[in-house]
Structure 1
């Protein structure tokens, strides 16, 4: 899991930095040099989307997703445990759904041979982030489920969820 964390952080960080760099380059050339770089929009959009989608897994790992705690905080231990189980099961199901439908999108785009307008990158490469994100989320939800169901409750802290 440490290797996956390193890979996620590195790839997401690199994509984000290069995406922002290309965006700044595009703004500079458009407004200072008076030359529009149409290719830049496609490239930085793809890089930022990939960085953000990989960030979904990072947010899950670090418990940074939006949650509504008002009722959960007032619930008893049994209801909290039940809610955690439901959340894990729904999360695993959702991640499998994202991976499956994302792969269908990739295969459809691949079969159609569609390419982006300015750069000519096959669209299926852009769509590839969907099944990758689904798999990353699946791994993270399974990790959380392992901690919840296998580890002793004394080893589990509220921070884990």
Structure 2
């Protein structure tokens, strides 16, 4: 799992660097050359969506989501175990919605409009939802395994 987390972080890092490069290029083209990149802002927006969702999805295995720490880190082992189990199950439930609905608009869509400037099929952009959902499910299942084996601390 550590190798996959490194791969996801690498993808997120590269996407973020490309976004920064595109934004710098846009500023250069607009203010130095006097013409604008029509597709630059659109592509950078799509890459930020991918980077944000993939980055957030990798947090499931590490249990780094927003939580009530008074309950999640309770001194009572049964309460700690129950709250962490519930949080992982909630993450799985949400991720299933991402996978099902994201697949409908990306992989299973019969028709996909194209973005206005870059002409990118939008189902490629929407594909991040089921992919991120699957990553969350895998990470949350791994968390559940650690919780119930007592290796959660």
Q: TM-score, normalised by structure 2?
A: 0.89
Q: 1:68 to 1:34 in 2, by over 3 A?
A: farther
* Cα distance per residue 1:73-93 (max 9 Å; x no partner): 566332222212211111111
Output the CA distance in 2 between the equivalents of 1:89 and 1:74: 19
User: 1:54-69 maps to which residues of 2 (within 5 A)?
Assistant: 54-69=54-69
Contact 2:60 2:143 in 1 (8 A): no
Output the CA distance in 2 between the equivalents of 1:9 and 1:113: 29
Q: Does 1:84 align with 2:84?
A: yes
Output the CA distance in 2 between the equivalents of 1:120 and 1:114: 9
Q: Which residue of 1 aligns with 2:136?
A: 137
Alignment root-mean-square deviation, CA: 1.9
Q: TM-score, normalised by structure 1?
A: 0.85
Q: Does 1:156 align with 2:145?
A: no
* Cα distance per residue 1:51-109 (max 9 Å; x no partner): 1111012333344322232455566332222212211111111111111111011146x
Q: Which runs of 5+ in 1 are unaligned?
A: none
Q: 1:30 to 1:4 in 2, by over 3 A?
A: same
Q: 1:4 to 1:71 in 2, by over 3 A?
A: closer
Q: Which residue of 1 aligns with 2:31?
A: 31
Tell me which protein shows more helix as a share of its residues: 1
Contact 2:106 2:127 in 1 (8 A): yes
